[in-house]
A and B are shown apart, each in its own frame.
Chain A
């Protein structure tokens, strides 16, 4: 009975919807479960955003309210002028993230090109060395890195933090770019060489345009890693004026104008921290998912 119904299904992709003639029921059940899951996953975020919009008194009330009785930007205003001010922390977070993107691309684009297309002595050994950070977690290297950075005056410096984030991100980026460059057809490259293009020009005119998705993926992951990274920033940035967003938010729980934790301001900060990474994810979802697949499954 089951066999007869299913064989006639044109798309084998959606078989259980039709199994045993229970077309509707299973379908509706799956739909309901999906909606339930979406609700559960979104609820914490929705509550956080709503809490960031409560007026000062309501955001400090106990027991808390689920939904604000009145909307207000008080919490955002307090965050705006908290300690050094939100603009400073935003600039620090964005600065470190953009520098991480730049450093990562500057290092891994030429290196990926070299590994994909040039005869390099001891290539395999060099590739393993380059992927060293995959084998040794950066969390274990922070003490010697901190001592080194202190000597180079790279602590309390956005450049230093970006260097650390680049070191974390380098193996993944190199891996993605090398694979993408290797997949560029030889004919395209040869045409450029025939025209007398130098290797650098070939890289810029042939390899970069045809590997744009890989470059977007690398930049996207560099941004998200740097924007979200916590422990390294905690270790390297002792000076409050150099804090990134997650650091100042974690610190804000103890030192606020309201005495205890300013919950409204904390939620405002969480909302603002979430916007850029969720934004780029929703815009560049395709790159994100493909990067994840090639990065994790290799």
Chain B
């Protein structure tokens, strides 16, 4: 049939620009990165093939492990706060009264602000002598002299940054949980009421199980986002003290750009990409299955 052949050609023509764009600006860099990761390349000298050396080096690199474990720790602390906090906010505001709608809108505002900009805002709030956090704590008599929140102690920096990021992104999970809770068919809610279920029983036996898929998805999105953390640490601690708060992406950035160890940076990137891939595959698997 000539018509379908023509349609095929037209279709390919409409598709071609996007496909070429992705091949040029995503697929090609990906291939290049894999190749680079097997070379020793510092921009000054031409790339030299070194096989698996960069990967071996990464596993013996103390800073690689410091960054990797610090990123995992950050992720492990922030994820439950975001998921449980977001879910509690969703339960609180999922009904459509004006005040609850307003609360939803306001909790979501920081989500649309850039992470870089919100990190600068919190960098000021946490500043030892100019920031309002210390001012508030001292006025309330909680502390007697300014606390050095950022860049002095890795744990304290981590907690301060987690507080700022929770403020910024907790609305993301909340909005998606609200959507899932509102999508529960009203017959189910009514049936549980007729059965005399208490609010707590309805949450644990009805609402939570019926929104579990969204909870898992938001968890995965949050985990992936946290494993890729950079802006907040670059801006608020600059990796201090002694690169103890330099996250995985931060360490990739340091190697690739200021240090110009391109081959090594590429190997670190690939390790990071593979770590993320595990979580993405689970996420795609979950979304696919829910369609069927």
Contact = CB atoms under 8 A, between A and B. Distances in A.
B103 A38 contact: yes
Contact of A224 (B4, B112, B116, B180): B112
B273 A140 contact: yes
Interface residues of B, number: 101
20 contacts: A34-B93, A37-B106, A48-B124, A119-B8, A129-B19, A129-B27, A137-B224, A139-B228, A140-B276, A144-B29, A166-B25, A229-B114, A231-B234, A270-B117, A273-B113, A278-B112, A281-B109, A289-B179, A297-B180, A297-B287
Contacts of B113: 228, 273-274, 277-278
A237 interface: no
A115 B130 contact: no
A66 B135 CA distance: 9
Contact of B269 (A19, A140, A228): A140
Interface string B144-184: 00000000000000000000000100011001100110000
Interface string A104-134: 0011101101110111110000100110111
Interface of B: 4, 7-8, 10-12, 14-15, 17-19, 21-23, 25-30, 32-33, 36, 89, 92-93, 95-97, 99-100, 102-103, 105-110, 112-117, 120-125, 127, 129-132, 134-135, 138, 167, 171-172, 175-176, 179-180, 186, 189-190, 193-196, 198-199, 214, 217-218, 221, 224, 228, 230-231, 234-235, 249, 252-253, 256-257, 262, 265-266, 269-270, 272-273, 276-277, 280, 287
A266 B217 contact: no
Contact of A114 (B11, B95, B276): B11
Contacts of A121: 8, 12
Residue with the greatest number of chain B CB neighbours at <10 A, chosen from A3, A48, A126, A170 = A48
A210 interface: no
A163 B4 contact: no
B14 A113 contact: yes
A64 B11 contact: no
A7 B266 contact: no
B33 A144 contact: yes
A164 B29 CA distance: 12
Interface in A225-259: 227-231, 234-235, 245-246, 249-250, 253
A7 B217 contact: no
B32 A110 contact: no
A69 interface: no
B233 to A, nearest CB: 11
A21 interface: no
A273 B114 contact: yes
Contacts of B135: 63-64, 66
A146 B11 CA distance: 32
B19 A130 contact: yes
Contacts of B130: 60, 62, 64, 261, 263
Nearest to A289: B175
Contact of B32 (A64, A135, A147): A147
Contacts of B266: 143-144
Contact of B121 (A48, A110, A227): A48
A30 interface: yes
Given A2-B198, A146-B256, A250-B116, 9 more contacts: A62-B129, A63-B134, A106-B17, A118-B11, A121-B8, A140-B33, A231-B234, A246-B116, A278-B109
A118 B5 CA distance: 10
A125 to B, nearest CB: 11
Contacts of B106: 37-38, 41-42
Nearest to B100: A34
A136 interface: yes
A57 interface: no
A148 interface: yes
Residue with the greatest number of chain A CB neighbours at <10 A, chosen from B93, B266, B269 = B269
Contacts of B265: 143
Interface stretch (A10-18, A80-88, A182-190): A10-18
Contacts of B214: 297
Nearest to B123: A253
Contacts of B287: 297-298
Given A12-B190, A130-B22, A145-B29, A230 B231 contact: yes
